[in-house]
Amino acid sequence: MSSSKHQKIGLKREIGKLGFAAIALNGTIGAGIFALPAIAIERAGLFSPWIYVACGVLIMAIVFVFARVASYFRDTGGPVTYATQAFGPFVGFQAGWLLTLSRAAAFAANAHLMVTYAGWFWSPLTEGTWHLAAVGAVCILLTVVNMVGVRQGMLAIFALTVLKLLPLALLVFLGISQTNPEIFTSAKIPQLDSLGETMLIVFYAFVGFESAVIPAGEARNPRRDIPLALVRTILAITVFYFLIQVVTVSVAPDIAGSKTPLADVAMILMGTAGAGILTLGAVFSISGNLTSSMLSAPRMLYAMSQLGSLPAWFGIIHPRHQTPANAILFYALFSIVLALSGGFVFLAVMSTVVRLMVYVMCIATLPVLHRKLGEFEGQFRLFGGMTIPVLALVLCLWLMTHASMESWLTTSVFMLLGSVMYFVTRRRAALRPE
């Protein structure tokens, strides 16, 4: 398909406020909340619910900045568009490449975990050939769904949103009456270094909200809908996480080391049937997260193609379904390769560190965009001037100092590879005859 033809087709604007809220929710509530409560208890004990509050404060500061930046634009691409407009095409490419890497690493990690949870119902899925085959099947199925159309992808996200929240809400409802009052009266704050390390791990349960800003080119009113969806959804998620951790540490304070902590809590509260329900909820939750990722992340590749940072092949739109089919296919294959080459923990840590780097880039765009684009009526406004962006920047950098050297080396290698790909693409474009 020719580039001109591609330009004429364009993307449909079908996503509204509820759609963006569902994308943000599914992008955030994925595998983390089903795996991290036990780790938080092991490291912070009765203080563990407040770790989620601390992470919530950090993520809200970042979300407010994203909401402000997003209100400047109507285009697909999210951080790619923001960084390009503020700092030029190379920085924009790095933002998109790093976020694509982060999303693909998280997709691969969560696909592993979802299939492992499904192994509660059929044990061959927990390891070996059946496990890898199921991971591949999940990637292929979601690829097909999102190639058919954004509406089909959104319907899947809405359905999985409901199915994931019901068992978690039931857990909170049944366990909240057993709340340990010492959580609010005598919980001890960990040492600063331990607090930072624990927050870096727990922060994995909060990342992913930025998936809602990427498909802005398919929104009916992105400048209004995206900021409101981001702020309201993350506030609700923070409260929800806090309540889940309160119930977990109250009902099962000795759960440290468990690989399925919420299923264990459900076993205590509701028996085997409850554990099965929570396990099924985990499968639905991670499925929703994967669906949201497959819907939004390929749009970054599409946006980078539009900006001339990737070959035009990535920008080709399916003539019938009007979706960025080639970008979706590439992202799916990239995720499958990562899933087959790394385990959950390594992929999750890499995803978090890389995403923090992208957040820092986007925070840095705000003063530049304000100077370039100014103000307009109806724009999302930040109270306190640059106070919130500076706070978000400092907290992100502080968390990043707790990352391992292995994470930094791996990320640096991918940045170098991305830079080579970018300059090769640019050079070929410059040498191509008119």
pLDDT(11) > 80: no
pLDDT(188) > 80: yes
In terms of average pLDDT, the best of 88-92, 137-141, 158-162, 359-363 is: 359-363
What is the band of 271 on the pLDDT scale with cuts at 50, 70, 90? very high
**Among 20-24, 41-45, 141-145, 265-269, which is the least confidently predicted range?**
20-24
In this prediction, residue 223 carries a pLDDT of 64
In this prediction, residue 35 carries a pLDDT of 82
In this prediction, residue 155 carries a pLDDT of 67
**Among 234-243, 394-403, 410-419, which is the least confidently predicted range?**
410-419
What is the band of 250 on the pLDDT scale with cuts at 50, 70, 90? very high
pLDDT(226) > 80: no
In this prediction, residue 227 carries a pLDDT of 73
Per-domain residue ranges for the chain?
13-431
The whole model's pTM is what? 0.81
- Summarize pLDDT for 16-46 with one digit per residue, the tens: 667 777 777 776 777 788 888 988 999 999 9
In terms of average pLDDT, the best of 95-99, 150-154, 316-320 is: 95-99
- Summarize pLDDT for 379-406 with one digit per residue, the tens: 777 888 889 999 999 999 999 988 888 8
In this prediction, residue 220 carries a pLDDT of 62
In this prediction, residue 153 carries a pLDDT of 56
Mean pLDDT within 108-136: 85
Provide CB contacts within 8 A for 286, sequence distance 6+: 30, 31, 34, 110, 111, 113, 114, 117
What is the band of 338 on the pLDDT scale with cuts at 50, 70, 90? confident
Q: Which fold has domain 13-431?
A: Amino acid/polyamine transporter I (1.20.1740)
379 versus 97: which is more confidently predicted? 97
In this prediction, residue 357 carries a pLDDT of 94
In this prediction, residue 222 carries a pLDDT of 62
- Summarize pLDDT for 60-83 with one digit per residue, the tens: 899 888 888 887 877 666 787 888
1 versus 317: which is more confidently predicted? 317
107 versus 223: which is more confidently predicted? 107
292 versus 404: which is more confidently predicted? 404
What is the band of 12 on the pLDDT scale with cuts at 50, 70, 90? low
191 versus 218: which is more confidently predicted? 191
In this prediction, residue 6 carries a pLDDT of 41
Provide, rounded to the nearest whole percent, the portion of the chain with pLDDT above 70.
86
In this prediction, residue 221 carries a pLDDT of 64
pLDDT(3) > 70: no
What is the band of 148 on the pLDDT scale with cuts at 50, 70, 90? low
pLDDT(432) > 90: no
pLDDT(86) > 60: yes
Average of per-residue pLDDT values in the chain: 82
375 versus 152: which is more confidently predicted? 375
In this prediction, residue 1 carries a pLDDT of 41
